[in-house]
Amino acid sequence: GREWRLLSRPVGWPKPEDFELAETEIRRPGPGEVLVRNAYVSVDPYMRGRMSSAKSYVAPFELGKAMQGGAVGEVVASEAEGIAPGDHVLHFGGWREYAVFDAKQAVKVDPDAAPLSTYLGVLGMTGLTAYAGLLRTASFTEGDSVFVSGAAGAVGGQVGQIARLKGASRVIGSAGSDEKVKLLVEEYGFDAAFNYKNGPVAEQLRAAAPDGIDVYFDNVGGDHLEAAIGSLNEKGRIAICGMISVYNNTEPAPGPKNLARLIQTRGRIEGLLVGDHYDLQPQFVQEVGAWVRSGELKYRETVVEGIENNLEAFLGVLRGDNTGKMIVKL
Ligand code: NDP
């Protein structure tokens, strides 16, 4: 089977030379282990962080070894109790065709309950991030006016729709193309949306939210965060989920210049890490799963085919090639 390895730590934008797609022997599973053939592999912005050696909340990828990430696949051999060939599992052995690992690290998923790819997106990690970040970190309450950046992406698209379904007074999104903006308003039911490449974010946000915002869900950082602080209402809340605009910077990005506004508004900024919120998973799957089935919550996936395109798919997420969750289909 083939697997992607990190050869050198990228400086700035990752380059193809920093990686290799290598052929490896498929090991038989040992006691307690399973062998899985991956069907769908996830590529996510946080993986850029794992390519660097900087200390963070997940360990850096090891040089010369297979990279990791979320994946869903079919068990082809099992030495573990309770998991049999033919079962489908969600696990962390992505970036490769076949994975062998301790069955304790796998969660069984039902391909008849929902399409397998959705366990990586709308019903998976990015969905839970949206749900927990909005409801818990940002303390969303009915009547709030909510602004989300990266709004046509996996997390952002779901944040805006959950806010709408839970009674937001206004939902505003930003994204990087006119086509994405159209999707937000016409399909996802946002009240307003703008293309951040069409002009200054602060001006476009003020026009889209003339009465200000109560919640900002930040996927992007930079100008977006500064603009959101500028439009924040009293007791406003900002959930810092991601800062994709700075992930490839080689120098630290300047912080927002208007933090003093938090005094006037008694505003709050709080970071969010999805790993802290898995206790919400059953409630999330139940509530969001029902909205997905009823069609009240829409989702998109951008599916790239072939393990050989795994790296390009990842780079595509950083560039904004995706609408909704970016997934590699093997
Ligand atoms: P997305 O599906 O949103 O893909 C990333 C998107 O970011 C791209 O599609 C692109 O869309 C946008 N983007 C890229 N560069 C810029 C830029 N310079 N300015 C503005 N937008 C940009 O990814 P996810 O939904 O998986 O993740 C969204 C964010 O959430 C990321 O920051 C990620 O790191 C974070 N995250 C955090 C978690 C946590 O636990 N804290 C868990 C999961 C995700 P466009 O065309 O609109 O530019």
Task: Tell me the per-residue pLDDT of 201-244, one tens digit each, with 9 for 90 and over.
Answer: 999 999 999 999 999 999 999 999 999 999 999 999 999 999 99
Pairing type for strands 19-23 and 301-305 reads unpaired
pLDDT tens track for 302-311 = 999 999 999 9
- Please indicate whether residue 221, judged by its CB atom, sits closer than 6 Å to ligand 1: no
Same domain, 250 and 208: yes
Q: How many Cβ atoms sit within 10 Å of the Cβ of residue 306?
A: 12
Pairing type for strands 232-240 and 268-271 reads parallel
User: Which of 129, 195, 219 to probe ligand 1 with, by most ligand atoms within 8 A of CB?
Assistant: 219
Same domain, 85 and 213: no
Dist. CA 165–CA 60, nearest whole Å? 38
Dist. CA 209–CA 172, nearest whole Å? 7
pLDDT of residue 2: 98
Q: What is the largest CA-CA distance in the chain?
A: 62
Residue 67 and residue 94 in contact, taking contact as beta carbons nearer than 8 Å: yes
Radius of gyration of the chain (CA): 20
Same domain, 186 and 70: no
* Helix, strand or coil, per DSSP, at residue 239: strand
Q: What is the mean pLDDT of residues 161-185?
A: 98
Query: What does the chain come to in residues?
Result: 330
Average pLDDT, the chain: 97
Same domain, 62 and 147: no
| Assigned domain for 144 exists | yes
Tokens 């379904």 sit at which residue? Answer: 165
Which token pair is 157? Answer: 């698209």
Tokens 């060939």 sit at which residue? Answer: 85
Q: Which runs of consecutive H residues, i.e. helices, occur in 44-124?
A: 47-50
Whether residue 284 is predicted with pLDDT greater than 90 in this model: the reply is: yes
| Assigned domain for 206 exists | yes
- Please indicate whether residue 246, judged by its CB atom, sits closer than 6 Å to ligand 1: no
Same domain, 135 and 270: yes
- Domain around 43: 2-121+299-329
Whether residue 316 is predicted with pLDDT greater than 90 in this model: the reply is: yes
What percent of the chain has pLDDT above 90?
Answer: 98
Residue 154 backbone dihedrals phi, psi, to 5 degrees: -65, -55
Whether residue 55 is predicted with pLDDT greater than 90 in this model: the reply is: no
| Assigned domain for 51 exists | yes
Same domain, 207 and 318: no
- For 195, residues 6+ apart whose C-beta sits below 8 A from its C-beta are 174, 175, 176, 177, 178, 180, 181
Same domain, 106 and 132: no
| Assigned domain for 282 exists | no
Which token pair is 326? Answer: 């970016």
Atom number in ligand 1 closest to CA 318:
14
Domain harbouring 320, CATH code: 3.90.180.10
Same domain, 218 and 264: yes
Which token pair is 227? Answer: 């603009």
Which 8-state DSSP code applies to residue 86?
T
Protein residue whose Cα sits closest to atom 27 of ligand 1: 155
Tokens 């963070």 sit at which residue? Answer: 56
- For 112, residues 6+ apart whose C-beta sits below 8 A from its C-beta are none
Atom number in ligand 1 closest to CA 243:
32
Domain count, the chain: 2
| Assigned domain for 294 exists | no
Dist. CA 330–CA 2, nearest whole Å? 11
| Assigned domain for 286 exists | no
User: Which of 50, 120, 148, 155 to probe ligand 1 with, by most ligand atoms within 8 A of CB?
Assistant: 155
Dist. CA 300–CA 286, nearest whole Å? 19
User: Which of 51, 238, 244 to probe ligand 1 with, by most ligand atoms within 8 A of CB?
Assistant: 244
Same domain, 149 and 236: yes
pLDDT of residue 280: 97
> What is the residue type of 111?
P
Which token pair is 129? Answer: 């991030």
Same domain, 155 and 71: no
| Assigned domain for 288 exists | no
Domain harbouring 243, CATH code: 3.40.50.720
Task: Give residue 84 CA to ligand 1 midpoint distance, Å.
Answer: 36
Residue 238 and residue 267 in contact, taking contact as beta carbons nearer than 8 Å: yes
pLDDT of residue 321: 98
| Assigned domain for 311 exists | yes
Same domain, 138 and 116: no
Same domain, 43 and 150: no
Strands of the 268-271 sheet, one edge to the other = 192-195, 170-175, 145-148, 213-218, 232-240, 268-271
- Please indicate whether residue 155, judged by its CB atom, sits closer than 6 Å to ligand 1: yes
Task: Give residue 314 CA to ligand 1 midpoint distance, Å.
Answer: 12
- Please indicate whether residue 175, judged by its CB atom, sits closer than 6 Å to ligand 1: yes
